[in-house]
Structures are given as C-alpha cells and as structure tokens.
Amino acid sequence: MIYFDNAATTFFKPQQVVDTALLAMKEYSFNPKRGGKQSLLLEEKIFETRKKLGVLTGCLEENIVFCNNCTQALNMAILGHAKRGGHVITTVCEHNSVLRPLYHLKKNGIIDVSIAVPNNEGIVQVETIKNLLQNNTYMVIVNHVSNVTGQAQEIAKIGAMLKKYRDILFVVDSAQSMGFLDCDINNTNADLIAIPSHKGLHSIQGCGVLAFRRGAMPRPILFGGTGTESHLISQPTTSDGLEAGTLPTPAILCLSSAIDWWAENFSQNSKKIATLNEKLYYGLNLLKATVYSKPNKCGICAFNVGDVDSSTIADMLSQKDIAVRAGLHCAPFMHKWLNTSKQGAVRVSLSAQNTIEEVYTFLNVLEGIMQKVDV
C-alpha cells in the first residue's frame, strides 16, 4: 500500500513507540495518583512527558493538560473560556473541532462569532483580524496550518497584534503543524495551543494535549475523579481539575517516546517532506490537475481532476492500493472559499517515510485515471 493520508494519522510508528505501547500494557497498567509505589512510578513517567511537551511548547509542566485527542483539547479551550455576551473571531480555514463548539455556543445565545476571510494566497492577514475586533472580543482562534491545503498562517504576527489587547486570548490549533513547524507559545505569541499526538509526532491515537501560558487556564468542561483533593465534591481549581477520569496512560507514554524520536529525526525528515512535496506539486501541475496547495513543510497537497467528484478519484486510487483522503475534510468554510463544497477535494498528505518512487507511482496511476475519466 502507498499511504498518502498522513494528515489524518501517520501510518508509520517508530519502533520505540511500538515498544513503549507494549511496555505500557505489560508493566504500567495502573492509574497515576491512585495507588501505591507503582502509581507513583507511572506518575513520574507521565511527568517526563509533560516536561518534554513543555520544551516543545514553552509552557510550564503544570500547564500541560492531557486529554483524549486534539478535538477535546480545542473544546476545552473554547468551552472552558466561554463568556456570555462575548465575541470570538475565527477563520474560514478552521476544522469542525473549532467551528462546531463555537456555533453550539452561538446557537444557544451565549456568544457571537466573526469569521476572518483569507486573501487570495490563503493567508489570514493581521489587519483582517484587527478589523473584526469588538469591545467584547475575548478570544481569537486560528488554525496554524490548513488541513485542506497545508497553508500556514502568520500566527506570530497575529499573536503579537493581540498582545496589545490584554483581555483577548489567542488559541492556536496545531493539529497539522505540531511536528513540522515551531509551536512554542513564546515564538507564536499564543495563549493556548491544542496538540495531537498521532500526526506529525508519529505517536499512537488516544492522546491530545492542551498547553497554555500562565493565567490562561480554562474552566473544566469534564467533571469527575482526578486522584487529587478527593475530599471535595467540586472540581479542583488547579490544572489537575482538567484531567478528570482515567488518563490514556499508554498513549501518553508513547508520546514521550515519539517526541524523542521526532527530536532525533526532525531535520532530515523535514528536508525529505519538502522534497517529496515539491515533486508532487510539480507533477500534479504537469498533469493539469486543479491544485489548491503550494509546496509546504507539512506535506499536504489538495487537488481535483476536472469536475469529477473527489470521492470517485479517491476510490479509483484505492483500487490501485493508494490511500488518500477525499471529501470536505471537516472544514466546510474552507471548501466554500475554494468553491469545492460540492466536489470536495482529493488530499495527498506525505510523511518522511514515503519515497520518491511512491510519488512517481502515484502520478503515473493518476495520469491513467485522468485518461479514463476523459479529462
């Protein structure tokens, strides 16, 4: 199989991650903060992961919160900071992980939402955000990298502008940028950043992270046991209160190993993805496909073949054992902006474990498909 759907989940998992998953189930099948010395040993392992994430994000360890996925992290940031009568700005480029909780709040009359539209290059400009600010704006949410086109936003510039407004929180969705671009809150000027484990860092599914700077901790949106302050019937007010229930400890330990692997291989992997992406972009344009992406560091390239439905092309590629993604990619506003709401788009997303031979095979197969559909 040629796997070109890495923006959904990276297929390749480093051997040390696989080994850690087995070790976690064999030797660490107990709960942190709930038990004896085994529990304390596991808590130490989890704290090591927090420290590594602190280095990646520039956040203090106590401001690293584990949850089940990046979607839950975004919901935690959005719902945990919801302000009745407030105003939130987001962008056309957002995933439904942002849009749905925002519009849930809007539908229930809690907040108002404004949508920033990108320029012709797909970039949401600082002035566009600034012009949407209102007296009651308390949050701005920006997708660091589009999961449809791979276009990166100038979040450091947006964040720098927002710093002039003390009461506005800047939330960054790093679903497609973590592991590829700098996600340090000090460099990006973010207040909160939502992180997946199973994409650019090559860990397993089941763990997401919300990292935040001091003073930006959200209220809990999930209530239950935390292993701390158990005498209280109210949720702890520290960051422990954001980790209700049993944590996905195998996925957390795997994330620790994945970060180690990522740090060792980032430079060479980044160069390879850039090379593969350029070859892919050049080949698709040579075939006269409609390409919506530019070469980028995250390995994402979206395209269409004439007016053929994207799912048809993806199915034909699947018959040749090539895995891509088709449809609307959970980003409805982005497809409306691209004028692909009806057709969707075929998305190829690469990892450094893909090869130039796979790219050429894909292009050859696609050329044959294009001849069959008479484009």
pLDDT for the residue 166 = 83
* 151 in Cβ contact with 52 (< 8 Å): no
* 50 in Cβ contact with 243 (< 8 Å): no
The count of domains in the chain is: 2
Strands 322-323 and 346-349: unpaired
pLDDT for the residue 375 = 59
Going by C-alpha positions, the residue among 361, 329, 330, 363 that lies closest to residue 347 is: 329
* 98 in Cβ contact with 90 (< 8 Å): yes
Which 3-state string (H, E, C) describes the chain?
CEECECCCCCCCCCHHHHHHHHHHHHHCCCCCCCCCHHHHHHHHHHHHHHHHHHHHHCCCHHHEEEECCHHHHHHHHHHCCCCCCEEEEEECCCCHHHHHHHHHHHHCCCEEEEEECCCCCCCCCHHHHHHHCCCCEEEEEEECECCCCCCECCHHHHHHHHCCCCCCEEEEECCCCECCECCCHHHHCCCEEEEECCCCCCCCCCCEEEEECCCCCCCCCCCCCCCCCCCCCCCCCCHHHHCCCCCCHHHHHHHHHHHHHHHHHHHHHHHHHHHHHHHHHHHHHHCCCEECCCCCCCCEEEEECCCCCHHHHHHHHHHCCEECECCCCCCHHHHHHHCCCCCCCEEEECCCCCCHHHHHHHHHHHHHHHHHCCC
pLDDT for the residue 175 = 98
Question: Quick one: 119 and 241 in the same domain?
Answer: yes
* Interatomic CA distance for residues 64 and 212, integer angstroms: 7
pTM (predicted TM-score):
0.96
CATH no. for residue 301?
3.90.1150.10
* Interatomic CA distance for residues 239 and 117, integer angstroms: 34
**Encoded amino acid at 237, one letter:** T
* Interatomic CA distance for residues 302 and 312, integer angstroms: 15
Question: Quick one: 115 and 197 in the same domain?
Answer: yes
Question: Quick one: 164 and 272 in the same domain?
Answer: no
**Residue finishing a domain among 207, 241, 259:** 259
Question: Quick one: 250 and 293 in the same domain?
Answer: no
Question: Quick one: 275 and 189 in the same domain?
Answer: no
Question: Quick one: 296 and 243 in the same domain?
Answer: no
Question: Quick one: 251 and 272 in the same domain?
Answer: no
What is the chain's pLDDT, residue by residue, as a tens digit (375 residues)?
Answer: 999 999 999 999 999 999 999 999 999 888 877 667 778 889 999 999 999 999 999 999 999 999 999 999 999 999 999 999 999 999 999 999 999 999 999 999 999 999 999 999 999 999 999 999 999 999 999 999 999 999 999 999 999 999 999 899 999 999 999 999 999 999 999 999 999 999 999 999 999 999 999 999 999 999 998 878 888 889 989 999 999 999 999 999 999 999 999 999 999 999 999 999 999 999 999 999 999 999 999 999 999 999 999 999 999 999 999 999 999 999 999 999 999 999 999 999 999 999 999 999 999 999 999 999 975
**Residue finishing a domain among 216, 240, 259:** 259
Question: Quick one: 159 and 36 in the same domain?
Answer: yes
pLDDT for the residue 179 = 98
Question: Quick one: 238 and 272 in the same domain?
Answer: no
* 66 in Cβ contact with 273 (< 8 Å): no
Question: Quick one: 239 and 290 in the same domain?
Answer: no
The parent domain of residue 188 ranges over 15-259
Question: Quick one: 194 and 48 in the same domain?
Answer: yes
pLDDT for the residue 227 = 78
CATH no. for residue 199?
3.40.640.10
pLDDT for the residue 136 = 97
CA angle 51, 54, 55 (to 5 degrees): 95
**Residue finishing a domain among 259, 293, 324:** 259
| Residue 209 CB burial class (10 angstroms; 0-12, 13-18, ≥19) | buried
Question: Quick one: 344 and 281 in the same domain?
Answer: yes
